[in-house]
Structure 1
Amino acid sequence: MPPFDKCSWSMSNKDEQLKRVRAATAEELRRMARTYDWSKNPEAVLGWMMAQKGMDLSSALVVFFNGDPGRFNYLSKKDVPQEFRGAARVLDNICLRMNSGFYRVRAGQKLPARAKLDAWLDYQRADRAEGRRGRWILDEGIIEAALIGKRQPPLAEEPADIDAIRPLQGPGAVQGFIAELIGPGLGARLQRMLPRRG
């Protein structure tokens, strides 16, 4: 098997590609996503890669611009040709994740797609001034805050052990949670407001 960042996407099918990316470390996954061939199974394979917690903002921006979002930015979803709808959905998801802060900035990270990002944001501003909007609008506040070095927790390389997460359980768990939010005495106040039975 060739190194992860040197694999030929055109020489393997979707199942082989998924097997390869699922075996990759977070760093390998970021390199693979940056070089992924958008003409080969972008929705299944690239969509899976871009949903992983180890993906960073720089890689997400490179992948987003590799997908050439300008082709379909002003088309409605139904006007996108059928063969490109999977790629458009991947772009939708990447944009949503960037705007929600899902992709974090790694320490010392440089942005290879900065010129493309600046041009995209300039087009967005021009669209806004003219009362237009494209399909993919990047949240300038979130993107810029992340790129100027806003401190964020480090990226997780491996997923957390789900058994280590203990939700509130048992009788009164919801009431206990609400009491923490609203304050003590919630039960007495609720009883005064509710009608008496019988």
Structure 2
Amino acid sequence: MVQVQRQAMQDFEDFDWVLGSAEEHLAMARQGSAGQLCALARCYDWYQHPETVLGWVMAQKCVDLGTALAAFLNGEPERFNYMPKRDVPEGYRGIVRLLDNICLRINSGFYLVDPNNMLADHKRINKWLAYQAEDDAEGRSGRWQLDADILEPLLKNTLRIEVPEEQKKNHSLLYDILSPAIDLATKRVIEDEPEPAKGQSLATRSS
């Protein structure tokens, strides 16, 4: 506890995210501004404490769609997209649950588009969507199906420069109402997930 309090006295920008425990990382993340949290979500090392730190960060209303997609890709979902639930190694199940959460929030419209936080890796997302369309045509499905309609404004840059205050309030209210349902849906996906159809992993497909 003393160590966490000492970390809390440090400046967010000077904090060494390579060191420290999950508790210390989370304590520092809770001090971050909206911009700092988005930057953290985009660059946080998934080999550190993603379940604890990103599990909290990605549930914050300040996180935008471009940031959410960047964080999702950082988790290397290609590794597990076609892997049956029972075959996911024990040490990676927390990461897979976190990816489940992020995907559910993306598809629910939880994350809004922010013109100041664009998606850097368009090529990788477009490839994911292309393979997803191929899967649909061939009657198979990966674990994570991204809603192309949700992503379209971001990928095509058809952005609203300013989000009206009323829309921001509605988004906040919608989050407050739907958050328990989203969490319950995630739990059901994890605990009662149908086994994915066999298919070729994105990681093994040719570019």
**1:32-111 to 2 correspondences below 5 Å:** 32-111=40-119
Pairing partner for 1:30 from 25, 38, 46: 38
Per-residue CA deviation, residues 46-69 of structure 1 (Å, 9 max, x unaligned), is 110000000011111111001000
Q: Measure, in 2, the Cα distance between the counterparts of 1:7 and 1:124.
A: 39
Report the residue type matching 2:133 in the other structure.
Answer: R
Unpaired stretches in structure 1, ≥5 consecutive residues: 166-198
* Partner in structure 1 of residue 151 of structure 2: 143
Report the residue type matching 1:114 in the other structure.
Answer: H
CA contact (8 A) 2:12 2:31 kept: no
CA shift for structure 1 position 108:
4.6
Number of aligned positions between the proteins: 159
SS in 1 for 2:101: helix
Identity of aligned residues (%): 46
Query: So what's the TM-score if we normalise by structure 2?
Result: 0.69
**Root mean square deviation, CA, Å:** 2.5
Pairing partner for 1:16 from 24, 35, 38: 24
Pick the structure with greater CA Rg.
1
Report the residue type matching 2:24 in the other structure.
Answer: E
Q: Measure, in 2, the Cα distance between the counterparts of 1:133 and 1:139.
A: 13
* Partner in structure 2 of residue 132 of structure 1: 140
CA contact (8 A) 2:118 2:154 kept: no
Q: Measure, in 1, the Cα distance between the counterparts of 2:56 and 2:145.
A: 22
Per-residue CA deviation, residues 80-117 of structure 1 (Å, 9 max, x unaligned), is 10111111111001100000111111135432021111
CA contact (8 A) 1:33 1:49 kept: yes
SS in 1 for 2:18: helix
CA shift for structure 1 position 126:
1.0
* Partner in structure 1 of residue 163 of structure 2: 153
Q: Larger relative CO (CA 8 A, sep 6+): 1 or 2?
A: 2
Q: Measure, in 2, the Cα distance between the counterparts of 1:49 and 1:136.
A: 20
Query: So what's the TM-score if we normalise by structure 1?
Result: 0.72
Report the residue type matching 1:13 in the other structure.
Answer: S
Runs of 4+ in 1 over 2 A off after TM superposition: 1-4, 6-10, 107-110, 145-156
SS in 2 for 1:87: helix
Per-residue CA deviation, residues 147-198 of structure 1 (Å, 9 max, x unaligned), is 4425483696xxx7xxxx9xxxxxxxxxxxxxxxxxxxxxxxxxxxxxxxxx
Pairing partner for 1:122 from 118, 126, 130: 130
CA contact (8 A) 1:74 1:135 kept: yes
